[in-house]
Structure 1
Amino acid sequence: MARGAQKEQARQKAQKEAAKRAKPKSQLGARSAGLQVKCPTCFSMMTTYKLLVQHMEAKHPKDTIPPESNFIKA
């Protein structure tokens, strides 16, 4: 009977370890949640307003940069 209890404990431990390893390895969900600022000209997504300013200066120099208040979530 002792082997039966050990076998059950080993099975439970193996299930826990398998669950840890089965976590999704992709970061696409977290990445898309972090992208919150969209370029009004080309609609590319950025993480911060500062990156948007750099993007606008480099890619769309003739367009005006929208104010930061347009991108703050309520």
Structure 2
Amino acid sequence: MARGQQKEQARQKAQKEAAKRAGAGSQLGARAAGLTIKCPKCFIAIANYNLLKQHMEAKHPKETVPPESDFQK
């Protein structure tokens, strides 16, 4: 009968761990909130102005980078 008790304890432990993991939700909402700037050319969401400059230089080299004041809230 010792194995039956170990099996029950393992089941209870697994249920507790599953309950902890179920509490953690998706991070899609937080990620979307962090992407605050949109590229004026292709409308991709970008996290900050420095990344926008890098994106514009790499993907749209003929376009001028808009000033940072255009993206202030």
TM-score, normalisation: structure 1:
0.68
Percentage identity across paired residues of the two chains: 67
> Which residue matches 1:33?
33
Partner Cα separation in structure 2 for residue 67 and residue 43 of structure 1:
16
Instruction: Pick the structure with more helix per residue.
Output: 2
Q: Which residue of 1 is the match for residue 42 of structure 2?
A: 42
How many equivalent pairs are there?
58
1:8-66 Cα shifts (integer Å, max 9, x gaps): xxxxxxxxxx4x54324311000000000000000000000000000000000000100
Can you give the 5+ residue segments of structure 1 that lack an aligned partner in the other structure? 1-17
- Aligned pairs for 1:1-74 (under 5 A) are 18=19, 20-73=20-73
After the TM superposition, which segments of 4 or more aligned residues of structure 1 sit over 2 Å from their partners?
Answer: 20-25
Report the Cα offset of residue 72 of structure 1: 0.8
Q: Any unmatched runs of 5+ in structure 2?
A: 1-18
